Structure 1
Amino acid sequence: MKKNIAIIMGGYSSEVAISIKSGNVVHKHLNKEKYNSYRIHILKEGWFYVDENETKFPVNKHDFSVEIENSKITFDCVFNAIHGAPGENGVILAYFDLLGIKHTSAPFYQMALTFNKRDTLSILKKYNIPAAKSVYLNKGNTIDTSDIVEKVGLPCFVKPNNAGSSFGISKVHEEEKLLEAIEVAYKEDSEILIESFLEGTEVSVGVIEYNNEITVLPITEIVSENDFFDYEAKYEGKSQEITPARISSEEEDKVRAIAKKVYTVLNMNGFSRSEYILVNGEPHFLEMNTVPGLTEESILPQQANEAGISLAELFDNAIQTQLN
């Protein structure tokens, strides 16, 4: 008997359109012989099942069900394709846990933790994972730009603490531009992170559970045409994403080892994609994405393809891991 799969997409952040694109790709590639897949839009204006004719049916939030032509549809598993809140920060996953509905992401606490860049770095520091020097600010804090520059140097990066897809990130070359960058970041989040610039090769690596084993996917080298790997570079073709990365076998071994260690230390499961800068051959952790882009062009699917894993296999594995 076919399983009913709800593919949740959209969300409450600036990443709505990207998430819907990812969710639609999951819907397209899910095995139709094994699953009935339902596109569920989770939006600020409401939760809806959207059928093939783009007709909307409201979701009953009491039990996460949908009524279609007097027939009540419930779900065996939820495929999480929401980038940002409330999918990637774990909020909606706690709701599914309360309802007893399985989902393809890590437990809600791990999702909340890894969505918070500051808290993730604090934990990894205890495990001697190299990272950039950093300063944290909460909205309303007194800002001493000279003190910040003294701690992290220039250029530096100003980032929202809880956001994705490079929204709100600025690379600052002059102290006079720091306040402006901080205000840009505060538009996305009330907590921000200011980090030192790391000079080196940027790489991205997916770590997933595949066939019940922690699997490190082939590594991707990021070469941005812009000043850094910003929104344009990620989504508008302003970068080269080279898989496998043009790094030495020694560097590859180091990235693979540290990526697996980070995944294990943070007690992750499901999808993850982490970014590192290789500084003098040593990987420095930047951040982890637990709902990475899932379109045909996205980095993690590129890596899976390089490993001989199709999108259908990738998505099926995520669901079967939870159902078994």
Structure 2
Amino acid sequence: MKKNIAIIMGGYSSEYEISIKSGNVVYQYLDKSRYNAYRIIITTKKWVYLDGDGKESPVDKSDFSVETKQGKVYFDCVFNAIHGTPGEDGILQAYFELLDMPQTSCNHYQAALTFNKRDLLSTLKPYGVHCAPSYYLNLGDSIDEKAIVEKVGLPCFVKANRAGSSYGISKVYEEKNLKAAIDNAFSEDNEVIIESFLDGTEVSIGVITYDNEVTVLPITEIVSENDFFDYEAKYQGKSQEITPARISKAQETNVSKLAASIYKILGLKGYSRSEFIFIGDIPYLLEVNTTPGLTEESILPQQAMAAGIPLPKLFGSAIDEALR
């Protein structure tokens, strides 16, 4: 009997449009012989089911069900394609856990932890994970530019602590430009992390649970045409994403082992995509994404296809693991 799958997309953040694209790709490629797929759009104003004709019907939040032409539909599993809040920061994960509804993403605590860059790096440092030197600011803190430069040096990266898709991030070369970069980061979040610039090869590595095994996907090398891997580079073709990455065997071994270790240390499930920069043969962790992009052009689907996993199988496996 076919399973009813709710594909949630949209969200409350600047990543809304990217999430809609990811969700529609999942809807397109999900095996219709195994699943009944339903698109659920979640925004700050409404939660709705979008049928094939584009008609919207409200979601009953008490049990996450929807009314359709065929009657009331309950879901066997939720496929999470929401980037940013509330789909990547633990809010929806906690909601579905309360409903005891299987979901393809990690659990609420892991989602909240990985979405918070400062807390994530602090958690992993005792395990020997290398990270760039950093400086933290909260909205309302006094800004001491000299202290920041003394701690992290120049150039440095100013980032919104809880944001994705490179929203709220700037590369700063001069102390006089720090304030504007910090204001930009605060436009996305009330917490900021400022990190030293690491000059090395940047890679992205997907780790998923596939056929009940933690699986490291082929590594992608990031070569940005811009000053760094910003929004333009990620989504507007201003970068090369080379899979497999042009790195040494030692680098490949080190980062693959580390990415798998981080996945297990954090107790993740479903998809993850982690970003690293190599200094010599040592990978330095930048961040961990637990709801990565899922369009045909996105990095994790590219890596899966390089591993011989087509999109219907990739998406189906996430549901199988959630139901397991």
TM-score under structure 2 normalisation? 0.99
Aligned length: 324
Residues 245-278 of structure 1: per-residue CA shift (max 9 Å, x gap)? 0001111001101111111111111100000000
Q: Which runs of 5+ in 2 are unaligned?
A: none
In the TM superposition, residue 69 of structure 1 has moved relative to its aligned partner by 3.0
- Where in structure 2 are the equivalents of 1:132-143 lying within 5 Å? 132-143=132-143
What is aligned with 2:319? 319
Q: What is the rounded CA distance, in whole Å, between the counterparts of 1:262 and 1:63 in structure 2?
A: 34
What is aligned with 1:276? 276
Residues 38-73 of structure 1: per-residue CA shift (max 9 Å, x gap)? 000001120010111111111111111111237111
What is the identity, as a one-letter code, of the residue corresponding to 2:264? T
Pair 1:210 & 2:224 matched: no
Q: What is the rounded CA distance, in whole Å, between the counterparts of 2:109 and 2:168 in structure 1?
A: 24
Q: Is the 8 A contact 2:270 2:322 kept in 1?
A: no
What is the identity, as a one-letter code, of the residue corresponding to 1:203? V
Pair 1:26 & 2:26 matched: yes
What is aligned with 2:160? 160
- Where in structure 2 are the equivalents of 1:69-148 lying within 5 Å? 69=69, 71-148=71-148
Q: What is the rounded CA distance, in whole Å, between the counterparts of 2:291 and 2:25 in structure 1?
A: 14
What is aligned with 1:42? 42
In the TM superposition, residue 90 of structure 1 has moved relative to its aligned partner by 1.1
SS in 2 for 1:177: helix
Pair 1:222 & 2:200 matched: no
What is the identity, as a one-letter code, of the residue corresponding to 1:11? G
- Where in structure 2 are the equivalents of 1:247-266 lying within 5 Å? 247-266=247-266
What is the identity, as a one-letter code, of the residue corresponding to 2:100? G
Q: Which runs of 5+ in 1 are unaligned?
A: none
What is the identity, as a one-letter code, of the residue corresponding to 2:317? N
- Where in structure 2 are the equivalents of 1:165-180 lying within 5 Å? 165-180=165-180
TM-score under structure 1 normalisation? 0.99
Q: What is the rounded CA distance, in whole Å, between the counterparts of 2:228 and 2:121 in structure 1?
A: 21
In the TM superposition, residue 321 of structure 1 has moved relative to its aligned partner by 0.7
SS in 1 for 2:233: helix
Question: Percent identity of the aligned residues?
Answer: 64
Pair 1:238 & 2:221 matched: no
| Larger deviation, residues 198-207 vs 260-269 | 260-269
After superposing on structure 2, the runs of 4+ consecutive aligned residues of structure 1 that deviate more than 4 Å are none
In the TM superposition, residue 118 of structure 1 has moved relative to its aligned partner by 0.3
SS in 2 for 1:250: helix
Q: What is the rounded CA distance, in whole Å, between the counterparts of 1:109 and 1:199 in structure 2?
A: 32
Q: What is the rounded CA distance, in whole Å, between the counterparts of 1:228 and 1:276 in structure 2?
A: 13
What is aligned with 1:15? 15
Q: What is the rounded CA distance, in whole Å, between the counterparts of 2:28 and 2:108 in structure 1?
A: 26
